Structure formats: structure tokens, C-alpha cells
A and B are shown apart, each in its own frame.
Chain A
Amino acid sequence: MNQKQQIILDLNEIFTDIIDEGEIMLNPETTANDIDGWDSLNHIQILAAIEKKYTFKFTLTEIQNLKNIDDLTNIIVQKTSA
């Protein structure tokens, strides 16, 4: 399993835990259109959980450009390998 695949598995756990609407299967192309409970209220909790797990802080630009799981994964790869 490569690093990105592992991150998606971790994200899957975070999303399932916060959204609490049954099993979630994320893939790089997943957007909020694919997951009912991924709304603005849960979004901030998801970002906070990611910041805590990977011990980094999102920048404003990163938050602004987030569109799908691939964007999120790329930020995590970049931040944790810096």
C-alpha cells in the first residue's frame, strides 16, 4: 500500500467517525456531492481531526482550493513530508 492509499484509509476512518451515517468509502475523486453528511458543519470537524492526527495546520489557500479527497490527500502528503 502506498502513502496516498494509507492516507485515504485514515481519512475514511475520520469521515465515518464524524459524519456518523454508516460506512463511507472514499476515493480520490470523492467530493461532498457524493457524501450526504459532508456539509459545512462536519467539514470543520473533519479538518480539525486531520490537523490533530497529522499535526499540521491548514493554510487559508489550502482550505480555499479544497475540492475533493485527492486535494486533501495531496495536502497531507506535502505537509507530512516537509
Chain B
Amino acid sequence: MMESFIDYTLAYIKEQNPIHYKKALKNIKELKKDDFFERATTFLDKYDQLLENNGKTRKYAIDCYLKLLADYTHEGLIFRETGKYSSTSFDEVNKRVYANPEIMQYYMHGLLVSQFLWKHHYVLLKYYIENLAHYVTAKSYLEIGGGHGLYVNEALNAFSEDTTFDVVDISESSINMAKHFVNNEKVNFIHTDVFDFHPKNKYDFITMGEVLEHVEDPVKLLLKVKDLLKPSGTLFLTTPTNAPAIDHLYLFRNYPDILAVLQKAGFCIENEIKVYAEDVSEEMAEEFKITMMFGGFLIKKL
């Protein structure tokens, strides 16, 4: 029998990057104890197949992930010294990253692999899936910045047959990857900047995972999202604090920073989760500026 994707990944990381191996091993051990592990395995089997169909190997995918880690370490060093993210304008990031297929390829594969190796990624995904059950009456779903397509894939499983699905993404590479991954004609993929997206109808449910930190003005983006949402609609939003990366622009230093932006845009939180990227105390997380992932189901403020 073929070695599982997770076991192969761990063995490869142990050999190539023993520094990261410790964290990866710990996270996978915890994941294996969780009832979510079965879903992770199903997902990774699908991903494994996608790699094969595209003539790519597991090694290629994990190399993308290790390159992404090196990128984060490099950006992390700059962040420690300057207290800022290194990129400053959306146009610069758009040219350097989103419109660059070579960079986007490794970025997307790297992020997909991270989905189950990073606790804060799989805990967030699990939280999303478990809570989607409360929103199954939604008849229209929009995802902004669909990335690799994992979240819309889960929404397809959760919502009813007659729900419509639209995904807007600024990167053509992302859309191509998500199309292959989701492989469902019900999903309408739209390659555009969300600010240029003007649909006829508003949406019952919008997902926007890890997009807010990619823009210069998060309030402006949230106001656009608010306009796309029906009065009684729900927005599922995730965004990290202290997460230096080549394509991150807006720095949320802490949870109150996120709350302030949500409030300014007229959203309130119905349900939320906060997960740190490392298993450390709150004090240590603050001292070392450890990334915290925020996820929340939001509604428009009355």
C-alpha cells in the first residue's frame, strides 16, 4: 500500500528541514488524535490525485511548502527588526505575486500543504466546517480570494443543492488551481479584483479567508463586502495578527486591532475563534509576536 501523504510529508521534512520537523510532528500527532483527521485524510487523497493529474510529485508539493517556510522566516526577521511588514503597496504585491504564475504556483501548493501541518490552519478549517451547519438555508454563496479552493469545497458539501456558488479571485493561477481541486460545475469562478465585481444580486453567505491582511485599507474592503451581503447575510472572515509574508500589507498587531476594523466597517461578531500558531502562553505570544489566527461569523450591525 502506498505511504499516506501525511507520513510521506513528515519523513521528507525530517530529512530536509529538521528544525521545522519538530513542530510538524507535534501538530500531526495532535491532528491524528482529532476526529477531524479522517476529513484531512480524504482531502489529502484528493490533493494527491490532483498532483498526479497535473504531472507533479509529492516531493514538488512539499518543496513548495519548505520554500514558503523559508519565505516566512525571511520576512519574520525583517518584521522583528522593523516592526512592519516588508511590502507596502498592493500594486507592488500584485505584480510580484498574484500576477506571477511561478510564485503563485509554489505559494498555492505550499499553503495547501500547510493546511494540515499548521494547527492554526486546520483548527480554523474545522471550526468553519462545524459551524456551516447553522447557515444551510443560504441560497447564494460568494467566496472572495478563494485561494486553493478548500473552503468552497467544504461549502459545497454543507449547503443545499439549489445554492449558487461564486468565487472571485484576483489571481488567475489561484482560480486554475481551485477549479481543478473543486472540480464542480456548480461553482462559477470569476477572475477579477473584488472592487470591480458588481453582481446583480446580493449574497446570503460570504467567505473571505485570509484576505483582509492583503490589502492596504481593510475597512474599504469590508465596506465593499458589506455591500455584497444581504441585510440578513453572514460573513465568515479569517485574518491573522503578526504574520509577516511577502504579500501581507496590513498589520493587525493584536485582537483589538481586528475588532476596531470590523467595528468601523459596521460588522459585529456572532461567533469567533482565536488560535495561536505556536503552543505558548498569551504572555509569550505577545512578547514574541506569535501569529494569532482570528476566525469569525459576522453580521451587519443594525
A interface residue numbers (CB < 8 A to B):
31-33, 38-41, 43-45, 47-48, 51, 57-60, 63-64, 66-67
Contacts and interface: CB of A to CB of B under 8 A. Distances in A.
Interface centre among B21, B73, B80 (most CB of A within 10 A): B73
Given A60-B70, A63-B70, A64-B70, A43 B77 contact: no
A44 B23 contact: no
A41 B288 contact: yes
A58 B77 contact: yes
B23 A39 contact: yes
Contacts of A66: 19
B74 A60 contact: yes
A82 B181 CA distance: 47
Contacts, number: 52
Interface of B: 14, 18-23, 66-67, 69-71, 73-74, 76-77, 80-81, 278, 280, 288, 290
Closest 6 CB pairs of A and B: A32-B18, A64-B70, A32-B19, A39-B22, A60-B74, A33-B18
15 contacts: A33-B21, A40-B20, A40-B22, A40-B73, A41-B23, A41-B280, A41-B288, A43-B19, A43-B73, A44-B76, A48-B77, A59-B74, A63-B73, A63-B74, A64-B66
Tell me whether chain B's interface is mostly helix, strand or loop, or mixed: helix
A32 B24 CA distance: 13
A47 B77 contact: yes
Nearest to B66: A64
Given A39-B23, A40-B20, 15 more contacts: A31-B18, A32-B18, A32-B19, A38-B19, A40-B19, A41-B288, A43-B73, A44-B76, A44-B77, A44-B80, A45-B288, A48-B80, A51-B81, A58-B77, A67-B18
Contacts of A58: 74, 77
Interface centre among B69, B71, B77, B278 (most CB of A within 10 A): B77
A43 B18 CA distance: 11
A62 B81 CA distance: 18
A47 B73 contact: yes
Nearest to B278: A41
Contacts of A48: 77, 80-81
Nearest to B63: A64
B77 A57 contact: yes
Contacts of B288: 41, 45
Nearest to A31: B18
A45 B289 CA distance: 12
Contacts of B66: 64
A58 B22 CA distance: 23
A4 to B, nearest CB: 21
A32 to B, nearest CB: 4
A33 B17 CA distance: 10
Nearest to B73: A63
Nearest to A36: B22
Contacts of B23: 39-41
B19 A39 contact: yes
A64 B106 CA distance: 14
Nearest to B284: A41
Contacts of B14: 33
Contacts of B67: 64
A23 to B, nearest CB: 20
Given A41-B278, A44-B73, A60-B71, A32 B21 contact: yes
A47 B66 CA distance: 17
A31 B19 CA distance: 8
Nearest to A61: B70
